[in-house]
Amino acid sequence: MIFINKFKDLNNYKKNNSLTLFLIFFLVLTSVVSFFLGFYFNENSAGAGGFKGDFSNVWNNINLLKKYDLKTFFCITAKSCHEISDTYISSRTPLLYLVNYFLNPFVSHEELFRVSIFVFSLLIPIFFFYSLKKRYPSYQNILLVFVTSIILLSPYFRTSSYWGLEENYALLTTLLTYIFFIKFIKKKNNKNIFLLTFFASLTVYFDIKFLIVPLITFFKIINSKIILKKKIQTIILFFLFSLPYVYLIFLWKNIIPTNDAINRNAGLLFFQNIGYSITLIFFYIFPFIIINIRNFYNNFIKLLKNKFFFLFLIIIFTYLIFFIFYYNISLETKLGKGYAYKLAILLFENYILQKIFLSLIILIGYFSIIVFFNNKLGDFLIIIYFIFFPIFVYPLMQEYYDPVLFIMFFLFFFKKIEINFSKVLILYIYFFCFLIFAFNYYKYS
């Protein structure tokens, strides 16, 4: 009974509850220690790690820079050097390879390079904590450290950190964008607007799927109350920073490097990915629904009475008709598509049962998204981006949503996440369990 009474009081920081502090310290330490141990034991909890995994592609691209001059290197990214058999293997621009080649002193040795990227990746939780302090100044540091530690549980952040993969560069510039956005809004000087648009633009060069970051930044500045001169400067700077990518588009005749454009069937539309993206977004909002279940229930009741409810039904059932009757799931490879697809193939061998299972999660996820973002138009538009950009992407990977959605929920969405210790504890347990599942899935699959 004494323990239960203490647990009920866990959220009362003013009493300096020793049990609360001990639990936070223990769980944060667990995240940190597991993160370092994962590197030491060559963990691969996202399926892309290992020396024979995507790291081999990263190392191949770096070696191209060692082997050829810059003109030839860019020629290889476009597959226009017909006399050269080497291939640039990436769907991202070469910027991160150029940065490492010219600025990373450990780029000559595989293991040292891995260590350097691992250390570099530690900047992400540091900047995430700093950003949380700016967004939630009234919360105690210990609670924000607890939130930050959840990033270290992301299988995709961990695998990218351990194996020098590409996603973490865009995560870092996303956080820097937020930090300079806060500085710009407060100080409104030319230096901040330059750095803000610069880092926002860099996210696209590191990963085109992060286009949402400069879009949010642009529209927040344009819709703010700053003077017209600053808005014009914003437009000009974004235009100038986009010019190198425009050149690359002409070079590749596509928005991604030529080799990957061919292998990923760039230019085709993959409407089945709408359903998979809904399941993935649902996965990441689910713990936030749990910690605000009362508000979610009230919003659900309002949705049932909404005059557009029938329209929402028509939209989702029209899509499910396509998904069930016109999408041939038997032709799919097992690569990507997220947790729901992997659960479907683990639970059912029959393709019809797999579709029924997936359709049920899509249906639940669809209405959960509508209810969760009820009356939050700006946030809903951000989610619309994450639902529809996968139409142009093949294969769709869960790493495209993790941990970027978690970061965006806390920083970029218009409505702040209201948290206390017990709520963060639920988030921690949820993502810790996901890490365990992901680790075992790729270890034994």
pLDDT at 7: 42
Long-range contacts of 182-188 (CB under 8 A, 24+ apart): 182/131, 182/134, 182/135, 184/221, 185/224, 188/226, 188/230
In a domain, 130, yes or no: no
The per-residue pLDDT for 9 is: 46
The Cα 298–Cα 226 span in angstroms is 37
Half-sphere exposure of 381 (CA within 13 A, CB side): 10
Distances (CA, A) of 125 to 32, 172, 284, 409, 416: 11, 9, 19, 15, 19
Which pLDDT score, from 0 to 100, does residue 187 have? 76
pLDDT score of 12 = 52
Among the listed residues 236, 149, 159, 153, the one whose alpha carbon sits nearest the alpha carbon of residue 201: 236
Length of the chain: 445
Distance separating alpha carbons of residues 149 and 30, to the nearest angstrom: 9
Q: Is residue 408 part of a domain?
A: yes
Dist CA 201 CA 216 (whole Å):
11
Q: What is the number of structural domains in the chain? A: 1
List beta partners, residue 268. Answer: 266
In a domain, 180, yes or no: no
pTM of the complete model beyond 0.85:
yes
Give the whole-angstrom CA distance, residue 2 versus residue 14: 19
Q: Is residue 321 part of a domain?
A: yes
**Distance between CA atoms of residues 213 and 234, nearest Å:** 14
Q: What does the pLDDT read at residue 414? A: 84
387 close to 405: Cβ distance less than 8 angstroms: no
Q: What is the pLDDT of residue 50?
A: 86
Q: What pLDDT score was predicted for residue 16?
A: 52
Asked if residue 260 is part of any domain, the answer here is no
**Residue 153 near residue 433 (C-beta atoms within 8 A):** no
All residues at 6 or more sequence positions from 398 whose CB lies less than 8 Å from its CB, including other chains: 156, 280, 336, 337, 338, 339
Residue 220 · residue 177 · CB < 8 Å: no
Residue span of the structural domain in which 308 resides: 272-414
378 belongs to a structural domain: yes
pLDDT string in tens for the chain (445-residue length)? 343 344 444 455 445 578 889 999 999 999 999 999 999 999 999 988 888 889 999 999 999 999 999 999 999 999 998 889 999 999 999 999 999 999 999 999 999 999 999 999 999 999 999 999 999 999 999 999 999 999 999 999 999 999 999 999 999 999 999 999 998 888 766 678 999 999 999 999 999 999 999 999 999 999 888 888 889 999 999 999 999 999 999 999 999 999 999 998 888 999 999 999 999 999 999 999 999 999 899 989 988 888 888 999 999 999 999 999 999 998 888 888 999 999 999 999 999 999 999 999 999 999 999 999 876 788 889 999 999 999 999 889 999 999 999 999 999 998 888 889 999 999 999 999 999 999 998 887 7
Q: In the prediction, which pLDDT does 190 show?
A: 66
